[in-house]
Amino acid sequence: MENRSDFEPRLPLYFVALIPQGEVKVQINHVKHQTGGRFGCRQALKSPPHITIIPPFRLQPERVEEMLEAVRGNFEAPVNLSVSFNGLGAFENRTIYLDIVADSGINSYDLVAKNLVASKPDLFPNVRFHDTFHPHITLANRDIPPGDFLEMMDYLKKKTLPESCNELSLEILHLDRGKWMIL
């Protein structure tokens, strides 16, 4: 006998992030597009440059407004937040990112996120935080061609990357037809 859940549609996917604004956003997007064109990496282009604060979770559409209110009511607007970039980093040979210095300002967003998710697990079901908060902005993710990783790292090291960003917005993103869109 088939399981009834096999026929139920998957719930929409969301996550919460800090998104650089202005010239920094333009600069990072430009680098992502150049890398995508040269190496065929397109996965990172499906979302705006961002620092994940609450990892992806699925939620019933009728609960989205309640979740938005919880996020807006628990996080301060990042008006005085500034992040410093610390060059390139990588997770294995699958992801290349722009590293962010984990200071008290950015770490406070991680702490608020973990407390919010713990206090409202019904609004943030199955959120899985990493053991250690490692703020970063992904430049290439999961689709780096085999054998191109070192060449891509060298290519990106020659690019002009931002040193800091003092204009960020806190946003909730929703996966819509394979692309992450700001709500």
- Overall average pLDDT of the 22-42 stretch: 95
Q: What is the mean pLDDT of residues 31-53?
A: 95
Place of tokens 């703020």: 135
Show Cβ contacts of residue 90 under 8 Å, excluding neighbours closer than 6 positions: 96, 97, 149, 153
E strand map for 28-165: 51-58, 83-91, 95-100, 136-141, 164-165
Whether the predicted pLDDT of 1 surpasses 80:
no
Query: Is it the case that residue 9 has pLDDT exceeding 90?
Result: no
Q: What are phi and psi of 154, to 5 degrees?
A: -60, -45
In this predicted structure, the answer to whether residue 116 has a pLDDT above a threshold of 60 is: yes
Dihedral over alpha carbons 40, 43, 47, 52 (to 10 degrees): -130
Predicted confidence (pLDDT) per residue in 62-104, tens digit: 999 999 999 999 999 999 999 999 999 999 888 999 999 999 9
Residues in the chain: 183
β-sheet with 95-100: strand ranges across: 136-141, 95-100, 83-91, 164-165
- Domain positions in the chain are 10-176
55: number of Cβ within 10 Å: 17
Do 67 and 75 touch, CB atoms closer than 8 A? no
Degrees, nearest 5: CA angle 125-130-133: 120
Q: What would the mean pLDDT of 15-32 be, rounded to a whole number?
A: 97
CATH fold for domain 10-176: Cyclic Phosphodiesterase; Chain: A, (3.90.1140)
Q: Which residue has the tokens 């700001």?
A: 182
Q: What is the pLDDT of residue 179?
A: 94
**Which of 2-11, 23-32, 167-176 comes out lowest in average pLDDT?**
2-11
Reported confidence tier of residue 4, pLDDT bands at 50, 70, 90: very low
Q: What is the C-alpha to C-alpha distance for residues 56 and 127, in angstroms, rounded to an integer?
A: 7
Q: Report the mean per-residue pLDDT for the chain.
A: 93
Structure tokens at 62: 């009728």
39: phi then psi, degrees, rounded to nearest 5: -110, -5
pTM of this structure:
0.92
